[in-house]
Each structure stands twice: as structure tokens, then as C-alpha cells.
Amino acid sequence: MKITKVAKAGTLESNDILIMVSPKDRGIIELDIESIVMQQFGEVIEQVILHKVQEMGVEGVSIKAQDRGALDYTIAARVETALNRAI
């Protein structure tokens, strides 16, 4: 899928994550994560986001994630929604 515009999903409430996506050239996946549980779960958050990007067949995207302690399914859902809004 091709990302054509800027879109976001989620909030900055506790236990949620705010995902902002914007277009990038084909083959480029940029990821910027900020999290209150970076030390404990930073790698897991990265895996969940990248897995979702791959699963949806995104060609190129820049993702900014501001995490407030969201669980994995929340992260995946927010990423999916943001990407769908950006087509």
C-alpha cells in the first residue's frame, strides 16, 4: 500500500499511543519511538510497529510514535488505523 498523506491515530492518554505517519520513498521505513517504558519495552514496541507495517505491505513511511504505556494490541490497532487513514 502507498502512503500518500499525513495521518494520525491514538491519543496521549495513559495506556495509549499516538501514531503519526507520513509518506516516504519506496523502501524507506523511518521509525521514531518515544515511550515512558522505553527501557523496559522499547524493543517490543518497535517489533510490533514494524510487524504491522510489513503485514499491511506499506511501501515507504515515516512513523512517529509517542507511547504512554500502550499494550501490544493497542499499538498494532493504532498503527493500522493511522496507515489506513494515510492512503
Partner 1 sequence: MKNLLGREIPDYIDGYGQVKPFQGSFSNCGVKTRSAVKLTSVLPKDQKVLPSLDDLFDRLKITDGMTISFHHHLRNGDYVLNMVMEKLAARGLKGLTVAASSIFPIHAPLVKHMETGVVTGLITNYLSGPVAEAVSRGRLTKPAIMQTHGGRARAIESGDLKIDVAFLAAPTADTYGNINGVYGESACGSLGYAVADAEYANVTVAITDHLVPYPANPIEISQIYIDYVVKINSIGDPQGIVSGTTKITKDPVALIIAKRAAQLIKASGLVREGMSFQTGAGGTSLAVAAELKKIMQDEGVIGSFASGGITGYLVEMLEEGLFRSLLDVQCFDLKAVESYRDNPSHQFMSASMYGNPHTKGAVVNNLDIMILGATEIDLDFNVNVTTGSSGVIMGGSGGHSDTAAGSKLAIVVTNLMKARLPIIRDKVLTVTTPGESIDAVVTERGIAVNPRRLDLLEQLSQTQLPLMTIEELKQLAEKITGIPKPIETSEEIVAVIEYRDGTVIDVVRKVKD
Residues at the interface with partner 1 (CB under 8 A): 14-15, 36-37, 39-41, 43-44, 68-72
DSSP state, residue 42: H
Put the strands of the sheet holding 7-9 in their side by side order: 7-9, 17-23, 61-67, 29-35
Tell me how far, at minimum, the Cβ of 6 lies from partner 1, in Å.
27
Angle at 56 between CA 52 and CA 61, to 5 degrees: 80
Largest CA distance in the chain: 34
For partner 1, which is the closer residue by CB, 3 or 35? 35
Residue 74 has a CB neighbour count (10 Å cut-off) of 17
Nearest approach, Cβ of residue 37 and partner 1 (Å)? 5
Task: Decide whether 25 or 39 has the Cβ nearer to partner 1.
Answer: 39
Residue with smaller CB distance to partner 1, 41 or 83: 41
Q: How far is the CB of 55 from partner 1 (least distance, A)?
A: 19
